[in-house]
Structure 1
Amino acid sequence: MSISGIASTALSGMRAQTTRVSAIANNIANSSTPGYARLNTSLTSVEPGGVQAVVSPTASDIDPATELADLIEAEQSYKANAVVFETGADMWEMLMSIKRD
């Protein structure tokens, strides 16, 4: 996989986690709204590499503990993808400095 492919995959992971956090925020904000359906985020892989977030309503109740656990998991996943993205950028920068020399 190329460095740009690595960065693209990490970026798609960060976007997917951003979508997930948005769904969690909606769940928490609307937890006492009558008739509100909890939003669930599913992650699916896409070609040639990466992940896509799909948000869909479910019939389950909103549990603050579950939402908090999902939020922590999304935060950790976002951070992991950010580290991969930064590492790819560092590798790209090093290759460019070698090419200039």
Structure 2
Amino acid sequence: MSISGITNTALSGMRAQTTRIGAIANNIANSSTPDYARLNTSLTAVTSGGVKAVVSPTASDVDPATELTDLLEAELAYKANAVVFETGADLWEMLMSITRD
């Protein structure tokens, strides 16, 4: 995999987690709304590399403990993807400095 492929994969992971965090925030904000359908985020792999987030309503109620656990998981996944992205950017910068010399 190329450096740009690595950074694109990490970027898609960050976008997917951002979508997931938005759905979680919506669930928490509407937890006391009557007849609110909890939003669930499904992550699927993309054949070209990366991940795609799809948000869909479910029949379950909003449980604050579940939402906070999902939020922590999404935060950690976002941070992991950000570290991969930064590492890819550092590798790209190092490669560019080598080719200049």
Normalised by the length of structure 2, the TM-score is 0.99
Structure 1 residue ranges, 4+ long, deviating more than 3 angstroms after superposition? none
Q: Distance in 2 between matches of 1:13 and 1:87?
A: 15
The residue identity in structure 1 corresponding to 2:92 is W
Gaps of 5+ in 1: none
Instruction: Quote the residue 1:69 is aligned against.
Output: 69
Q: Distance in 1 between matches of 2:35 and 2:59?
A: 10
Instruction: Quote the residue 2:89 is aligned against.
Output: 89
Q: Distance in 2 between matches of 1:88 and 1:40?
A: 31
Q: Distance in 2 between matches of 1:48 and 1:57?
A: 27
Q: Distance in 2 between matches of 1:96 and 1:66?
A: 45
Q: CA RMSD in A?
A: 0.3
Instruction: Quote the residue 2:53 is aligned against.
Output: 53
Q: Distance in 2 between matches of 1:60 and 1:13?
A: 26
1:24-62 superposed Cα distances (whole Å, 9 cap, x missing partner): 000000000011100000000002100000000000010
What is the aligned residue count? 101
Gaps of 5+ in 2: none
Identity across matched positions, percent: 84
- Secondary structure of the equivalent of 2:83? helix
Matches within 5 A, 1:30-45: 30-45=30-45
Normalised by the length of structure 1, the TM-score is 0.99
